Structure 1
């Protein structure tokens, strides 16, 4: 009877570890979605500012407050925000791959084929072009 209880406890612990890993993955995916929405809104604001040639100053919303500032300063701020969001999305995606592999290992499943692929660098592309 004691061995059945130990086996049940071990199974529950294993399922808890799997559940934690899955929740961590879902949390990262949701974070990527939120970053992407913010990045798209920032891109829209940048394009809008770049199209408006008449005005030298623009209103932008920062932390719930509207502030009028020079257009160039606003564009620089939005570009910086866009770059930061792009960086955060890429970092989160990079961290996501090992987490998915860990979950698949916990579930005794094979790795996803092609999941770890990365694009060629510029120098690698040039080397391939020279060969062709």
Structure 2
């Protein structure tokens, strides 16, 4: 094998690995934000005030608590979608690394959890 071909292959492998590490750190950061939103939602529900303060960018706003809760819930949905998309892409990127290494793709890691309807169908079938 030619030296330039080896260097190119190693560079591609390094780039793919760096991309995976970046995505994993992004997932961690988004998850921290999601947890912060969850804490804020719990606090708003316990608080019971009609108006609440929220910060957007560098500005504070005093809005109806229901509006603040709606904003936080929409942000939670967006964060969930982004995290799930990143996790799905991580699997593809890991397969790319395995391909660059000349190894077979990992088996069993492309599984998806059952949704609520599928689980209830299983429980009905099993008699629970």
Q: Report the CA distance between 1:120 and its aligned residue.
A: 2.0
The residue number in structure 1 matching 2:81 is: 87
Alpha-carbon distance in structure 2 between the residues aligned to 1:8 and 1:129 = 58
CA distance in 1: counterparts of 2:117 and 2:54, whole angstroms? 40
Aligned partner (choices 5, 18, 26) of residue 23 of structure 1: 18
> Unaligned regions of 5+ residues in structure 1, if any?
1-5
Alignment size in residue pairs: 126
Residue deviations 1:92-130 (CA, integer Å, cap 9, x gap): 111111101110121123333421111123443344334
- Aligned counterpart, 1:43: 38
Q: Give the deviation of 1:45 after TM superposition.
A: 0.7
Q: Hey, what's the Cα distance between the residues in 1 that align with 2:88 and 2:69? A: 29
What stretches of structure 2 of length at least 5 have no aligned partner?
none
Using the alignment, how far apart are the partners of 1:52 and 1:123 within structure 2? 35
Cα distance in structure 2, aligned partners of 1:122 and 1:23: 36
TM-score w.r.t. length of structure 2: 0.90
Q: Does 1:74 align with 2:76?
A: no
Greater Rg over alpha carbons, structure: 1
State the superposition RMSD in angstroms.
1.5
Give the TM-score of the pair, scaled to structure 1: 0.87
